[in-house]
Amino acid sequence: MKADGHIHTPYCPHGTKDAFEDYIARALQLGFDEISFTEHAPLPTRFVDPTPQKDSGMNANEIENYFSEVTKLQKKFASEIKINIGLEVDFIEGYEEDTKAFLNEYGRFLDDSILSVHFLQNQERYYCLDYSPDMFETMIHDFSSVEAVYESYYRTLERSILADLGKFKPKRIGHITLVHKFQKKFPISIDFNEKIQTILDKIAEQGLSLDYNGAGINKPLCKEVYPPEKIIKEAIKRKIPLVYRFRFP
């Protein structure tokens, strides 16, 4: 079966405004059998988005419209392609209970979901690690080194895997090497392979799947998929299911 499990939508405040039906038409053209719309979930109301435009997540007032619109598309295209209602949910340290409460309220409407780490905490401040090279450079300064940023990312990622987020916790972990997004500009001097192996072990133990995300290959300072081939091979050894993300449209 040919499927894409990670598609953003016009409800993404920092993305393109391509219509839902444009994505569906492209998926049909490419011969996909199934797609998941996984828009960025609204961030916890008491969390202050560190990006300049405060646009990392969907507007909370639009989530019911989002569900309604995708539900209509499911029915319209039922004979041509399977469409899943999904969300990409942020794991933010210190906001686990907020996320659990959100999932308890809306999880029953989801066919698919992803748990991702975009935000890292250093003391009392949060940063969006994939926002821009400039923000990443600020993180390197504030965390003390690029290696310290990587260490924080992988530590937070492991905590997301083990976190109790209730019965609707997403079963897939998103782009586990997102911290590599600016690696061409900010290379690291040590190998995090052992840490990544531990993370893969935890994913396998928890019975979770892994986002195999092609977005990074088009990022000029990354130029590799999230995660790269050597990590994918290790995931396969552990029988971790992989869910592909194509690049639409």
Residue 145 structural domain = 3-245
User: Which residues make Cβ contacts (< 8 Å) with residue 217, sequence separation at least 6?
Assistant: 223, 224, 225
43 neighbors 92 (Cβ within 8 angstroms):
yes
List, for residues 76-130, the tens digit of each pLDDT value.
999 999 999 999 999 999 999 999 999 999 999 999 999 999 999 999 999 999 9
Q: pLDDT tier at 16 (50, 70, 90 boundaries)?
A: confident
Token code pair at residue 222 = 């990354």
Residue 39 confidence (pLDDT) above 70: yes
- pLDDT for residue 13: 84
Task: Give the whole-angstrom CA distance, residue 167 versus residue 107.
Answer: 8
* First-last CA distance in the chain: 20
Half-sphere exposure of 128 (CA within 13 A, CB side): 18
Number of other CB atoms surrounding residue 104 within 10 Å: 13
State the pTM of this model.
0.95
pLDDT tens string 154-202: 999 999 999 999 999 999 999 999 999 999 999 999 999 999 999 999 9
Mean pLDDT throughout 7-35? 90
CATH number for the domain that contains residue 84: 3.20.20.140
Number of domains making up the chain: 1
| Residue 247 scores a pLDDT above 90 | no
